[in-house]
Structure formats: C-alpha cells, structure tokens
Chains A and B, each alone.
Chain A
Amino acid sequence: MAKREKSVMYVEEPEIGFWEATFVPAIVEGLRTTMKHLVSRETVTEQYPEQKPDLPLHYRGVHRLNRDEKDRVKCVACMLCATACPAHCITIEAAPAPKDWPDRDKFPQTFELDELRCIYCGMCEEACPVDAIELTHIYDLTGQTRDELLYTKDKLLNVFDKTRDNPRDPVRTGRGVLGPASEFQALPTLGPATQVATSDRSAKIGTAGVIESGTGNVTDGGARS
C-alpha cells in the first residue's frame, strides 16, 4: 500500500480565479476561435469525385500480378502468398511451367483472388519471393455481383497493364526481371532457424528442404553464383 501511494501522482485542479469564475474570458476566447475559423476560408475538404485524394505511396489497394520482361506472369506458383494470407482469399492452382520457360518449374494455371475477402494487409506482397504480387493505389473498387470482384489471373494481369506506368505504382523491385529467387542457380541453404545440436542432421544439410545423406556443408549456404 505504501509503495502504491508513492507511485500515485496527485494533480492539483487549477485554481479558479475571479475571471474564470465569471466564464467571460473563456466564452470570449472561444468565440474568437470560432470567429477566426469562420472568416478564414481555408478548408480541409476534398471534393471527392472531382478531386481525387492524394494517397501516400505505401497505400494498399487492389492487387496486381506483375509481368516479367517477356510479358509472362511473374508468379511461380510457390503458394507463399496463399499461405501468408490471413484472410485465405488467394487460391492458386499450379501447373508445370511450359517447356520454353526455363527459369521456373511451375506457373499458376489459375490464380484467384477474392477482393471482397481480402483485408488489404499486404502480407502476400511481403511473402512473394519473386515480386509477382503487388498492391496498387486503386481504391475505388466496385462491382455489381460478388463474382465480379473475384479477380482471376487475367484480371490481375490487366490491373498490372493499367498501372505499370503510373508513377504512384512503381514496380517496386526488379522491374522486368522475374525476381531474386529466380536467379538462384542452386537453392541457398538457410540454415536451421533455431539452434540445434551439431549432431542433428538438420545442422548438416547442404540445401534447404533437401536432407542429404552423409555430411552437409552448412557454411557454404547462401552463396549466390
């Protein structure tokens, strides 16, 4: 109890003087403030449909699926966005990449994103290893049916075509290039996320996700050729 008393700070109510008790200075001051605003014609209002809002560059609106320099979809159907999505609004069906796409194994056969379900948190963008999915500045998304707002791969690529040259929507990284993950010749070893005993086999693996037999070279991991 004693300790508590010490930690309590008592704030004195400011003393009321003669003028405060008459309310007059307060009312005069208040009227002066309102009058000041009344005569100054500055407004903070945006006349919305005519005057578009000036959105910050990090605004998160409708998604787009980026294209690479050959106008192919950048997405490699790794499912990281679908996994990261807290609203479960992304559905991807992966298929083996066509033979003339040597830089990847898979590509999305279908890519569906339910814009009504999305909470625009940007986790998919964070998760994407090849910078394929990005959120644009488009905020006035409307539709007459739910199906209209179920964005397919075509629609998402269309959004990219519409916004690729908009200065508000720069292709944020590696424009035209598939992305950092596609440039790996060999999969880098990430190493175990937690400390493990050196005798553990996960400490000895050479490549992530692949558990080799025998000795693994841990220190070699992460090198990009």
Chain B
Amino acid sequence: MSELLITLLTIGLVVAAIPGVCNYLILLERKMAAWMQDRVGPNRVGPYGLFQPLADGLKLLLKEEVIPKHVDRTLFVLAPMISVFTTILALAVVPFGPVEDAPSWLRFIIAPGIDIGLVFIFAITSLAVYGIILGGWSSNNKYSALGSMRASAQVVSYEIPLGMSVVGIALLSGTLNLENILTQQAQGGILAWNIWVQPLACLLFFTSSLAEANRLPFDLAECEQELVGGWHTEYSALKWALFFLGEYTHVITISFLTSIVFFGGWHFPGIAEPDSAYMFAWLVKLLVLLTKVFICILLIMMLRWTIPRFRFDQLMELAWKVMIPLGLVNVVMVMFVQQFQLSRLWLVAGSVSIFAAWGFLSATAKRAHLSGGKKRPATHTTGHGHGAHAAGHGAGGH
C-alpha cells in the first residue's frame, strides 16, 4: 500500500480515536473521583454509566453556543481550535505502538523518523498556551484574563525544567528521535530503561508535564474557587468541549511520552522483547505500551485527588527554586558521566544524592527562615532561648 494511504489511514485513526478516548477518560476520571470520595459516580446512562460520554457528547453538540457580545469574535473562535490543533499535532511524532513490527496496512506513528521528535513535541505543546491566552484575553473578562495570565506564567516557567529533564536522556541516547530512544531501551532489556539511570529526570519530567497540561495540582489557570472558570469562563458548548479535548489529549501525550522515554515503551521482559517473533507480536507490544500509558493516566488522575492545588507563589517557587536547579544539576551530572566515560551506575547514585541534597537544603533553608525572621515577644518563653523553644516544639510536634 502506498505511503500516502497509510499515512492518511493513521491520521484518520488517531483523529477519530482521540475524542472517543478522551470522552471515556473523562468518564473514568469522574468514576475515579467518585470512588475516592466514597461516592458512586455517573451510573444513570447505560450500565454502570457507560453511555454517559455519549450523552455528554450529544449534549455538548446540541447545546446553544453563546458568544457574548463583548468578546473579540475572531480570537474567541480561534482559541479552542488552537488548543486542540496543537495538542493533537504533538501526537504526530509519538509512536503509539511498535513502529517496526506494525502490520503492512498500519503504522503506529503519523510522522515516522523525525529526528527532532522531543523538541518538536515541546515546541508544539507549548504553543497550546496560545489557545489559553487568546481565549482568556478575547473573552474580555477579568477572571478569564487572570486565568490566562496565570497559565502563561506557569507554562513558560515549567517549560524550562521540562526541557531540561529530557536533555539528559538525549545526551545518554545520542538522539532526540522518540523511536530510537524506545528501541535503545528495548534492545538493552529492562535494566536499560531510562528510569534507572535518570529517576530524577523522570520525576521532573512528569511533574512539569502536569504543570504544562494545567492538570491538578497545577490547574491554577482554571481554579474554580478563585476565578469562576478561569480562561474558559465565557465558553460554552462545543468550544468549551474543545478546550477539554485539548487538555485530555495533552494528558494522553504526557503519558505516552513518560512511558516511551522513561519506561521502555512497548518493551516488557519476557512478554514483549524486540525479537519476539510469535504471531500478533505487534498486538502484544501495542497492549504493553497502552497498559503502561493507562497506568500513567491512572496515576495522574489519582494525583488529582491526592495533592491539593498549589498557591501561585508556591507554584513559581517549585519551578524556579527547585525544579530548574535540579534539572540543571542533573544535566551537568549526565555530561560529566558521558565526558569521562564513567559507569552509568554513577547516574543512579548521583540522582539519589542530588535529590537528598535538595531535601536537606530546603529543610535547612526552611529552618533558617523560621528561626531567623521571627519578631515575636519573648514574654511567653521566659527563661528559654528561642532556639531551644522552637526545638522543643519541633520535637513535640512529630
């Protein structure tokens, strides 16, 4: 079959699958949220509420689309489109299955052999913030504007640790091509998975991707308690749905990237090896990859109901004071190991010790902050120094 036809088929498959998958992910998220809060969740439409996404989709399609008078029409309509377009475009270079073993009529990547894969993804997904900024600004509404301001500051800040975290991977693998990164891990066996040599980078990558996607606990752009709806306050019906389609596509992309870059993609020892030659090996590999992705999505959903939302200054502090320095040190460590041809085991030790050093530093800094900036009258601590008092409290508190 001609390349063009296969490409068109793959594009069609991806574009058709994404809305459905997103819809069911939303149902899953609602169910998970319900279970975690000891509720039942949607259970009225169909068995176990399984047709709820269809009903929701239908509702969003048929609902009246309100475009308020005071908005900038062109940008208002354009914003959700940008949001979806960019996130789906980013999926183009993500291999969503075993690219080499694909059956002849299918290819598991829309654009194969892109050597700048990772850079492309980051470039495109950070364009998604334009959707948010334009949406918030063109809404001509203070809450929307505030939300989009937050989003832009957040995305720009977290871009840096996000890029920094994969620089180490790029240095180790010698490529930015996602397929090659995957193949290298698969050929090396389970111990070659990048998570072992770059655990810190994995943590940074995962955290900053959540921030990139505006997922909780980093969803300050749409934080309901403060900003009504944030940047999508004025949106309704399908345009609103497009924004959320974009967000969920982003979550899917993140999960694919995490599984591929750090967890060996479709590789799993004993089940899916690069030389597995049994029938439908491609299907097994596809399922292995999708399982990893699914676990990742589940983790993202669990984190949503586990960690409370950051305050904005804490969010910025996390990016600039913690994640960017950590990312930098991690890159330097990888460069060091590569330059002096050291054993890769040093990377494991290095990652752990960087993390430990950071914990120690911030604990010390916090302690210094607590005891240094105090302006409290000493009346209630007669006979005791502040230090002794604080230490006593600290000991009692734990």
Binding site for B on A (CB under 8 A): 5-6, 9-10, 12-22, 27, 30-31, 33-35, 37-38, 40-45, 47
* Most central of A14, A18, A38, A43 by chain B CB within 10 Å: A38
Interface residues in B347-364 (C-beta closer than 8 Å to A): 355-356, 358-360, 362-363
Closest to A37 in B: B36
Asked if B37 CB lies within 8 Å of chain A CBs, one says yes
Q: Does B307 contact A27, Cβ atoms closer than 8 Å?
A: yes
Question: Among B359, B377, B379, which residue has its beta carbon within 8 angstroms of that of A21?
Answer: B359
How near does chain B come to A46, taking the closest CB pair, in angstroms?
Answer: 10
B336 at interface by CB-CB < 8 Å? no
- Chain A residue nearest to B391 in the complex (CB): A15
Q: Which of A15, A31, A42 contacts B397 (CB 8 A)?
A: A15
Convert B45-64 into 0s and 1s, putting 1 for each residue whose CB lies closer than 8 angstroms to a CB of A. Answer: 00000000000000000000
Given contacts A15-B393, A22-B355, contact A34 B36 (CB under 8 A): yes
| Cβ contact of B359, chosen from A22, A31, A33, A44, cutoff 8 A | A22
Cβ of A5 and Cβ of B302 under 8 Å apart? no
In the complex, per-residue mask of B351-385: 1 if CB is within 8 Å of any chain A CB, else 0: 00001101110110011001000001101100000
| Chain B interface helix/strand/loop/mixed | helix
CB neighbours (8 Å) of B303 from chain A are 31
Query: Given known contacts A21-B366, A22-B358, what 8 new A-B pairs fall within 8 Å (CB)?
Result: A10-B376, A13-B370, A14-B397, A21-B362, A34-B36, A34-B302, A37-B36, A38-B35
Q: Considering only CB atoms, which chain B residue lies closest to A29 in the complex? A: B306
User: How far is A64 from B214 in the complex, measured between Cα atoms in Å?
Assistant: 55
CB within 8 Å for A47 and B40 given contacts A16-B366, A34-B305: yes
Q: Give the complex CA separation of A12 and B374 in angstroms.
A: 10
Give 7 pairs: A residue, B residue, CB < 8 Å, sorted on A: A12-B390, A12-B397, A21-B366, A31-B303, A34-B36, A37-B35, A38-B36
Chain B residues whose C-beta falls within 8 Å of the C-beta of A37 in the assembled complex: 35-38
In the bound complex, how far is the Cα of B366 from the Cα of A43, in angstroms? 41
* Residues of chain B from 60 to 104 with CB closer than 8 A to chain A in the complex: none
A19 touches B302 (CB 8 A): no
Contact in complex: A31, B306 (CB < 8 Å): yes
Contact A20 B397 (CB under 8 A): no
Set A9, A12, A43: member contacting B40, Cβ < 8 A: A43
Closest residue of chain A to B40, judged by CB?
A45
Q: Which residues of A contact B394 (CB under 8 A)?
A: 12, 14-15
Known: A17-B398, A20-B363. A30 touches B306 (CB 8 A): yes
Whether A5 and B379, one on each chain, are in contact in the complex, defined by CB atoms closer than 8 angstroms, is yes
Q: Is the CB of B302 within 8 A of A38?
A: yes
Identify the closest chain B residue to A32 (Cβ). B306
Complex Cα distance, B34 from A34, in Å, reads 11
Min CB–CB distance A14 → chain B (angstroms): 4
Residues of A within 8 A of B379 (CB): 5-6
Return chain B residues, CB-CB under 8 Å to A9. 380
Chain B residues whose CB sits within 8 angstroms of the CB of A22 once the complex forms: 355-356, 358-359, 362
Is A18 in contact with B363, judged by CB distance below 8 angstroms?
Answer: yes
| Interface contact B377-A5, CB-CB below 8 Å | yes
CB-CB < 8 A to A47: which residues of B?
40
Q: Which residues of A contact B362 (CB under 8 A)?
A: 16, 21-22
> Nearest Cβ distance between residue A77 and chain B, in whole angstroms?
49
A114 shortest CB reach to chain B, Å: 34
Q: Smallest Cβ distance from A189 to chain B, in angstroms? A: 59
Q: How far, in angstroms, from A19 to B37 measured CA to CA in the complex?
A: 28
Q: Contacts A43-B38, A47-B40 given: A14-B306 contact, CB under 8 Å?
A: no
**Residue among A22, A35, A47 with the most chain B CB within 10 A?**
A22
Q: How far is the CB of A148 from chain B (nearest CB, A)?
A: 28
Contact of B302 among A13, A15, A35, A42 (CB under 8 A): A35
Q: Does B32 contact A (CB under 8 A)?
A: yes
Measured CA separation A19–B355 after assembly (Å): 11
When the two chains form the complex, which single residue of B38, B307, B370 contacts A15, counting CB atoms closer than 8 Å? Answer: B370
| Closest residue of B by beta carbon distance from A41 | B35
> Chain B residues near A41 (CB, 8 Å)?
35
Given contacts A15-B397, A30-B306, contact A44 B36 (CB under 8 A): no
The minimal Cβ–Cβ distance linking A58 to chain B, given in whole angstroms, is 27
* Closest B residue by C-beta to A24: B359
Determine the residue in chain A with the shortest Cβ distance to B37. A37
- Complex CA gap A38/B393 in Å reads 36
Which A residues touch B377, using CB under 8 A? 5
- B355 — which chain A residues lie within 8 A by C-beta? 22
Q: With the chains together, A154 CA to B370 CA distance in Å?
A: 72
Complex CA gap A17/B397 in Å reads 11
Cα distance A21–B362 when bound, in Å?
Answer: 6
Chain A min CB distance to B387 (Å): 11
Q: How far is the CB of B345 from chain A (nearest CB, A)?
A: 22
Q: Give the contacting residue for A17; candidates B35, B37, B363; CB below 8 A.
A: B363
**A16, B367: Cβ atoms under 8 Å?**
yes
Tell me which residues from 118 to 153 in chain B have a Cβ below 8 Å from any Cβ of chain A: none
